A and B are shown apart, each in its own frame.
Chain A
Amino acid sequence: MKFSDEFRNGEIAKGLVARIATLLDACGATVEKPLRFMEVCGGHTHAIFRHGLADMLPRSLEFLHGPGCPVCVLPMGRVDDCVAIAEQKGVIFTTFGDAMRVPGSKKSLLQAKADGADVRMVYSPLDALEIARKNPDRQVVFFGLGFETTMPATALTVLRAAKEGIANFSLFCNHITIIPTIRAVLDSPDMAVDGFIGPGHVSMVIGTKPYRFIAEHYRRPLVVTGFEPLDVLQAIWMLLRQIHEGRVEIESQYARIVPEDGNRAALQAIAEVFELRDFFEWRGLGSIEHSGVKMREKYAAFDAERKFAIGQVTIADPSACQCGEVLKGAIKPWDCKIFGTACTPSTPVGALMVSSEGACAAYYQYGGLRKGAA
């Protein structure tokens, strides 16, 4: 398959792994005191496990799986709001597939669907708009979530709905922003990150400049990285080279996709439709200032938050669940008290067990090899 097989070449990987091993030794990393790199994106977590990367690399390097899986950081209260909207008479509730299994305090969207709510899986917000066009007598709500990666498509859909006057379409906006999230990780007292494998597709939208504070203020290197396994290996090599040479910089490995200044049209659409919320609630991380966006007054007619009465209640995470510590890299998934026992992919307690991008689900599905061998 063109444009992906080139980035999955096992022979090139062997060479890179050897160079990474040499650099790790040169940086003084050991099995007892490994260097720890956090991949912020769930997409990277998925790639690392799918291709067996952790298994190929020396034990003196450790991956920390960060908070960049939008499904995983969705708090229960928001799922409850989704269910409340979906269960209103006449509503068609549309969502990306992997949000359907996230547990709310009472039920997930999948369970709401089984109970009779009209919940439909879509691949793009434009699909939801099409459903609204075809069902003018129903209220069609799209559950918008994700970082800056998915935000432009949602914004453009709202703009199109406004332009065409599709009054029965609305957006339940739960979009979040990456920068405050990384800052929250860096400000956490148990933070143990030596470098960041930076978001690829978020950076395609926002560019690489917004990350500068990470190097300047927090003195941690970050390499914006693509999602193929060779991308990830190269980024690790670039991070190690910085550490070895005593540099702390924001670099990009993903130049084939990421422009330094981001995508102007996408940023404009985002700015037109959305504005920052004062606070947004995260699963496991608590409330983070300016970490979410809401719809501007101008587009109130398409805002599900204004259209439907919803609780917006904060529901505490289940007490046994340690998703927050896993998200911050303080513990590994299998260190959690309920990993693999009370919390499994078939009965997820924490959101990290739900999505295939969640660190716990990835450890459960693909992992175990390394720990089993250790």
Chain B
Amino acid sequence: MTMQPMPRPRRQLQVDRVTLAHGGGGTAMRDLVEDVFVSAFSASEAALEDQARISLADLATSGDRLAFTTDGFVVDPLFFPGGDIGKLAVYGTVNDLAVGGAIPRLLSCAVVIEEGMAIETLRRIARSMAAAAAEAGVAIVTGDTKVVPHGACDKIFITTSGVGVVRHGIEVGIGRARPGDVILVNGLLGDHGAAILNARGDLALDSPVESDCASLAGLIADLLGAAPGTRMMRDATRGGLAAVLNELAEASNVGITVRETDVPLRPAVRGFCEILGLDPLYLANEGKLVAVVPPEQAAAALAALRAHPLGTESCAIGTVTEGKVGRVIMETAFGGHRIVDMLVGDQLPRIC
């Protein structure tokens, strides 16, 4: 359904938990959709149509190509230091658009809810999504709700799709890196992965690390302004920095050298990884950008990143090389070299 202005007063829920009736297509479902989602996402409008309708002329004012992406979000716990599943669902899709050089504009939101979820929890998630969307400058214009029996999903699954408009003249791609290019990141790596592991109670840390989850749209706008020749951007989510660099090395047919001493890590995250036997290069981020820029624009790019609130700790961490095509090599702080490969599956903590 689509959120359009509607004359009658908004429907309101009379219960405090989601039941299968809320997925049944009747009045209970309309109560849920209007009271929780429509009220949070678009203030006064309600849903009447089955689709959002978007003015092409309006979109065409900001660029010449559409960017379109989709992502599913599952996370345990739903709320964690620095964020929640709602924020992730908005920022994740916004960032996937932004790293393509697009200005994010519109989002959809489909939720699968496990019966029994507290309505108040759902409201918190919807409010968080609305705040994140406002922050990122996107509108949530269409959505869907399903309720499944207890045990058929883990509390709530959210899928968001996004549409953005790619700026004139910007050409970024995973296959565009050239030897000599400089690799930048916009700050401390691994915070999200560490925050989630810690929030699950796997390790009782005194000073909890907060997730870095954030919209990269503004930061990327500044970066592209300063370095229009930017070759490639990726948000280093699942698989961390290591996954992005390996994909880059393979797709661009180049080697990559990373300097361990230049990779920015929070001391708490380093310590956390030491204790658990994890490698921070593989930890997930939700607000970290890997950008490859030509050498002559590297200084301007780094300055632009550092001037943005989300990039104050930005660093140049390595370079694109001609050697060892498809390989990512780390110069260790100790003075040796090692290969940084892709992970097969999840990282598993070591026994001792």
Contacts and interface: CB of A to CB of B under 8 A. Distances in A.
Contact of B335 (A56, A70, A97): A56
A201 B350 CA distance: 14
Given A53-B336, A369-B338, A101 B348 contact: yes
A292 interface: no
Interface in A314-371: 345-346, 355-357, 364-369
Interface in A260-309: none
The number of chain B residues touching the other chain, given as a range, is 20 to 34
B311 to A, nearest CB: 24
Contacts of B351: 70-71, 96-99, 145-146, 150, 355, 357
B270 interface: yes
Interface in B329-343: 329-330, 332-339, 341
A4 interface: yes
B56 interface: no
Interface residues of A, number: 46
Interface stretch (B135-143, B222-230, B271-279, B290-298): B271-279
B206 interface: no
A160 to B, nearest CB: 18
Nearest to A362: B338
A46 interface: yes
Interface in A127-149: 145-147, 149
Given A52-B337, A96-B349, A355-B350, A123 B332 contact: no
B348 A100 contact: yes
A4 B335 contact: no
A1 B350 contact: no
Contact of B352 (A149, A345, A368, A369): A149
B58 interface: no
B338 A49 contact: yes
Nearest to A368: B339
A52 B330 CA distance: 9
Contacts, number: 98
Given A123-B203, A369-B337, A52 B332 contact: yes
A2 to B, nearest CB: 9
A150 B351 CA distance: 8
B344 interface: yes
A201 B349 contact: no
Contacts of A229: 334, 336
Contacts of B274: 1, 4
A346 B352 CA distance: 22
Contact of A13 (B203, B271, B276, B335): B335
Contact of A43 (B203, B336, B341, B352): B352
B267 interface: yes
Contact of A369 (B203, B334, B339): B339
Contacts of A8: 333-334
A219 interface: no
Nearest to A344: B344
A310 interface: no
Contact of B350 (A346, A357, A364): A357
Interface centre among A51, A55, A364, by most chain B C-beta atoms within 10 angstroms, is A51
Nearest to B329: A369
Given A1-B274, A365-B339, A369-B338, A50 B332 contact: yes
A52 to B, nearest CB: 2
B276 A1 contact: no
B198 to A, nearest CB: 12
A123 B202 contact: yes
A-B interface, 5 closest residue pairs, ranked by CB to CB distance from nearest: A52-B336, A97-B348, A10-B335, A97-B349, A366-B338
Given A52-B336, A123-B349, A147-B352, 10 more contacts: A1-B270, A52-B337, A55-B336, A56-B334, A98-B351, A149-B352, A346-B344, A366-B338, A366-B341, A369-B338
7 contacts: A4-B274, A52-B330, A101-B345, A123-B203, A150-B352, A367-B339, A369-B329
